[in-house]
Amino acid sequence: MSPKLTQALDRYREIEAILASPGASSDTESYAALMKEYRSLSSIVEKSEEYFKADEAIRDLENLLSSENDPELKALCETELKTLKDTRDRLDGEIKTLLLPGDPDDDRNVILEIRAGAGGEEAALFVADLFRMYSMYAERNGFTVELLSENRTELGGFRQLSALLSGSGAFARFRYESGVHRVQRVPVTESQGRIQTSTVTVAVLPEAKEVEVNLAPGDVKMESCKSSGAGGQHINKTESAVRLTHLPTGIVVECQEERSQFKNRDKAMKLLISKLYEIKRRERDDALAEDRRKQVGTGDRSEKIRTYNFPQGRVTDHRIGFTVYTLESFLNGDMGAMIDALRLHDAENRLAGE
């Protein structure tokens, strides 16, 4: 048992005793803080109990195998032993992840930006595929998805889109998706059946509040314009679309999803504030540059992180060398194994660097 795990289990028992004592709830602020810590430690305790049970069962089976001569029974024991060892290894990784100090941004909602890169219309179509994939994964995990802005193409793709993914722990789940995603497939526009390689860039930003960003009144220029693209009779009749420019940095955001200019302004401001907060976050991370080098990727949009190869039916994450051969289900939101592997790899590197 690692010292960190021993410390966590001791702290859990200590808080449990405090909460059970008379008058524990008299100080509501202190009680709420203890309950939050208790719930956080509960996950570690539950995983640890499962780990110890699996470890004990492994020892029992190993003892049985050393004294057993029946070939059929030995084969059954060896199969069960392999399953238990896989379970123990999985639990070990989950416990390591839980023991790491959380990033202060992990519980935040996520602003997801996806942009077409090289590949023209095929890249735009893959933006739509990735957005669908992320939306399905988000909904499977209890997150809500709200489209903030989009720029559609005639074939149903997107040159760019932004969305808000809301729910506790959203950033912790999606943070490793930032970077260049490469797709290799035969485009719908290709009549000769030739495979094309296209790219899409993904940026994952933790949602920020206005009070967390130093935003002076004169820093933002707002422009209104008529909406464009799909939208029926409403399009081009009122100037409901909003463009915000942050003058000190030159960052520009747009929103035209709502019919109300005020609602579009609110969505655009939410996106702008999160972009400005991301700059602050990167400055904070740069101060921990050595630690960041140990983590999975840099989150930079120029870093090629993953390839989706349709002819081979595989998805490969280049940062950790992890490949799955279930491309169709992966694009239907079955991303859990990949994301868990990325989180575990990051956790192990961070623990090794401590």
| Per-residue pLDDT tens over the stretch 29-79 | 898 889 988 988 998 999 999 999 999 999 999 998 888 788 888 888 899
The closest alpha carbon to 95, from 344, 339, 352, belongs to 344
Same domain, 10 and 121: no
pLDDT the model gives residue 325: 96
Q: How far is CA 27 from CA 19, 31, 95, 194, in A?
A: 11, 6, 31, 69
Same domain, 124 and 74: no
Same domain, 86 and 157: no
| Per-residue pLDDT tens over the stretch 169-184 | 899 899 999 999 999 9
Same domain, 43 and 122: no
Same domain, 267 and 293: yes
Residue 296: which CATH number? 3.30.70.1660
Same domain, 22 and 150: no
284: confidence class by pLDDT, cuts 50, 70, 90: low
pLDDT the model gives residue 299: 45
The helix or strand, by DSSP H or E, that contains position 162, with its residue range, turns out to be: strand 158-166
Domain boundary among 64, 99, 134: 99
The closest alpha carbon to 176, from 97, 255, 287, 123, belongs to 97
Same domain, 142 and 186: yes
Domain boundary among 67, 99, 131: 99
pLDDT the model gives residue 42: 92
pLDDT the model gives residue 285: 62
Same domain, 140 and 279: yes
Same domain, 37 and 173: no
98-122 mean pLDDT: 85
279: confidence class by pLDDT, cuts 50, 70, 90: confident
Same domain, 144 and 223: yes
Residue 290 pLDDT more than 50? no
Same domain, 59 and 123: no
Residue 20: which CATH number? 1.20.58
Same domain, 189 and 292: yes
Share of the chain above pLDDT 90, in %: 42
Q: Please provide the distance, in angstroms rounded to a whole number, between the alpha carbons at the two ends of the chain.
A: 17
The per-residue b/e assignment along 86-112, b for 16 or more CB within 10 angstroms, e otherwise, is ebbebbbbbbbbbbeeeeebeebbbbb
**In whole numbers, what is the pLDDT of the chain averaged over residues?**
84
Domain boundary among 46, 78, 99: 99
Report how many domains make up the chain.
2
- Which residue's entry shows tokens 């050393």? 66
Full domain range(s) for residue 253:
106-354
pLDDT the model gives residue 194: 87
pLDDT the model gives residue 295: 45
Confirm whether pTM is higher than 0.85: no
291: confidence class by pLDDT, cuts 50, 70, 90: very low
Q: Determine the Cα angle at 9 with ends 18 and 45, to 5°.
A: 105
Pairing of strands 220-225, 144-152: unpaired
191-201 mean pLDDT: 86
